[in-house]
Amino acid sequence: MNKRFIYPILTVALLSQYACKKQLDALPTNAKVEGNTITDQPSANVALNGVYFRFANASNTATDWTNDKVMPSLFAGYLGSDNGASNNESDVFGGTVYTSEWARYYSLINAANGVNDGVQKLADNKFTAGRKTQILAEARFLRAFGSFKLLSYFGQWFDINSPLGIIIEDQFNTLTNINLPRSTVKDSYTFILSDLDYAIANAASTSVNINANKWTAMALKMRVLLSRGQGDDYAQAITLGNAIINGSPYSLEPNEKDIFYTKGLASNEVMLGVQPQANQELYYLNVSNTFIKASAFYIAKPMLYNLLKNDPRLSWVVGPAVDDNYYFIKYITPAKQSTVTSEVAYAFRLSEVYLMLAEATARSGGDLNAAKTTLKTVMSKAGVTDFSTVDAATTAADVETQIYYEYARNFVGEDGIEWMALLRLPLATVTQIRPTITSKVQYILPIPDSEFINNPNFGAQNTGYSKPN
């Protein structure tokens, strides 16, 4: 296998091509393999790479972050489908087009649990100094990543008192623990944050940027705290943001465009990315081609054009007109062949940390001028020189809205960052920006029918949706 791709397909039963516990017609083929396939540090490293394989949503031919890039930007109104199918609001809000993400992230969680369970059973002397806890920290980061994705898309994350959280899974699936009920939102947050605190305390301080470390765990914790928004969550987010900016090895890219067009994973701004599979750029059904060549490709909507029409990024994010929309050229232009760089996906970049710091500052009642300065620092890296709109924001609500617009300009088509930032605004502001969203019912997807059919213990469907008959 090409050395450029470090996520090998595991043949061990622990991380077999098992569609995850959410498909009960595909139970684990060997439920007693826990601890048997991980016997020492080398096998633990291989198993951990298998979890990254799930994180990358990889196959033999490609890593596929198409849904990560498109789904939330479609929800937010910035991207759409050229064939019109996914432009229908009923397909976006309240439909079942993207409920497959439920199984995808539980598959990631189950793989992480397999590593966590297997490594914990081994004696410390099976590992070089510190490596055991580092492996556990990365596994728990990846479990937290999957759990927070599930809470964000399928749980009432915006209501700390809601019973409609996620299924908390902290052990590798067996026949005896497969049908669990969903937990409360409060307990879901507690579980996720516990994993992240462990990762922050025990992960490596430096790593290649296709692996998690303490800094990426801190960045994910900032996301979680901003969504929860309780007690001292904003104060904690400010502390984390300052620590990352002042202490991590990452730095803002001087020219944002270079990340996507020339540098990719070589950019020092990229905290965690997804490296393409070997020769993925030559594969016709690769991710880049979903923006230019597929029979039904994804396009930029007029809403994105209008957002960027006075911004330097318009020239390299929104391309020529196609039908009533535009090509989306953040990764690849219509005349360009796919490259390794155009196939890279981005989970965490330092620009987001700056924006989360600015948001937490504004939400906590902090210095609005400091928040605006942080915001303008990020905007300047895209070549923006006119900050009059930011300077005119005088209330916390106005500053928060301006920060949101920069989330959207900066992170459209990456990993749902602009979607979640939108939903953290008051509903009235959300409706003003995205008029088709008039209720928080539209913030989350329905639980897939298969969960209720196969798991009688699950509990209630999300508000506004129905269980299968």
pTM given for the model: 0.92
Q: Taking the mean position of all CA atoms in its chain, how far away is CA 34?
A: 28
Q: What is the pLDDT of residues 392-420, one digit of tens each?
A: 999 999 999 999 999 999 999 999 999 99
Could you give the dihedral angle defined by the CA atoms of residues 437, 72, 74 and 156, in that order, rounded to the nearest 10 degrees? -30
Beta-bridge partners for 151: none
Six-digit token pair at 202? Answer: 């025990």
Q: Which two tokens stand for residue 468?
A: 């299968």
pLDDT tens digits for range 239-292: 999 999 999 999 999 999 999 999 999 999 999 999 999 999 999 889 999 999
Q: SS3 for 298?
A: strand
In the chain, the N- to C-terminal Cα span, in Å, equals: 47
Quote the pLDDT of residue 178.
Answer: 84
Helices 233-247 & 350-363 angle (0-180, nearest 10): 150
pLDDT along the chain (469 residues), means of 10: 30 34 30 62 95 95 94 94 55 67 96 96 95 98 98 98 97 85 98 98 97 98 98 98 98 98 98 96 92 87 97 98 94 94 98 98 98 98 98 98 98 97 98 94 94 95 90
Q: With the CA atoms of 322, 326, 327 and 328 taken in that order, what torsion angle do they form, in degrees rounded to the nearest 10?
A: -160
Alpha-carbon span 203 to 399, nearest angstrom: 34
d(CA 467, CA 444): 15
Amino acid 212 reads: A
* pLDDT value at residue 82: 79
Exposure of 377 by Cβ count < 10 A (0-12 exposed, 13-18 middle, 19+ buried)? Answer: middle
Our CA angle for 454, 177, 133, nearest 5°, is: 130
75 contacts 88 by C-beta, under 8 angstroms: no
- The span from the CA of 367 to the CA of 405, in Å, is 19
Residues 37, 263: Cα–Cα separation, whole Å: 38
pLDDT (0 to 100) of residue 277: 94
With vertex at residue 349, the alpha carbon angle to CA 98 and CA 431, rounded to the nearest 5 degrees, is: 50
Q: Of 342, 352, 206, nearest to 275 (Cα)?
A: 342
Q: Is 175 helix (H, G, I), strand (E, B) or coil?
A: coil
| Contact (Cβ atoms closer than 8 angstroms) between residue 138 and residue 212 | yes
Map out the domains of the chain as residue ranges.
Answer: 276-343
CA separation for the pair 313, 58 (Å, rounded): 30
> Cβ distance 408 to 439 under 8 Å?
no
If one counts every other C-beta atom within 10 angstroms of the C-beta of residue 107, the result is 22
Q: Are 101 and 446 in contact (CB under 8 A)?
A: no
